[in-house]
Amino acid sequence: MVELKNFLQCQFANCSSAWAFYHSLAGGLNVINYNVFSRATQNLIASRTLSADKMQHLFKTVSSDGNVITEEDFTKEFSNVEYNGKQILRVPK
């Protein structure tokens, strides 16, 4: 998860713009399903392929119900993703 947060922090100004990117691939849905999450995440970290198990783990970490990711779920997990001239993420232990 830390690696994904680092990518999001470097690629997007804030959580809202990261959500907009993921949401743009959702085909008009108000939520992000596993296929959209997987495709968007692989697009962001194209230099590295994640196993199906690792991708499933990331998805379930973000999703509150294990089926879809809502904007609320996304914001809860990635709200600290914001570019402020540093590449430091504060990840709760």
Tell me which residue range forms the domain holding 42.
2-78
In this structure, is residue 26 part of a structural domain? yes
d(Cα 44, Cα 79) in Å, to the nearest integer?
18
In this structure, is residue 37 part of a structural domain? yes
**pLDDT tens digits, 3-16:** 888 888 888 888 89
Cα separation of the two ends of the chain? 12
In this structure, is residue 85 part of a structural domain? no
* Residue 73's CATH number: 1.10.238.10
Total of domains in the chain: 1
**pLDDT tens digits, 40-73:** 998 888 766 778 898 899 999 999 999 999 999 9
**pLDDT tens digits, 29-41:** 899 999 999 999 9
d(Cα 20, Cα 8) in Å, to the nearest integer?
12
Element (H, E) at 75: helix 71-78
In this structure, is residue 89 part of a structural domain? no
In this structure, is residue 24 part of a structural domain? yes
In this structure, is residue 12 part of a structural domain? yes
* pLDDT-based confidence at residue 93 (cuts at 50, 70, 90): low
Return the CA Rg of the chain.
Answer: 12
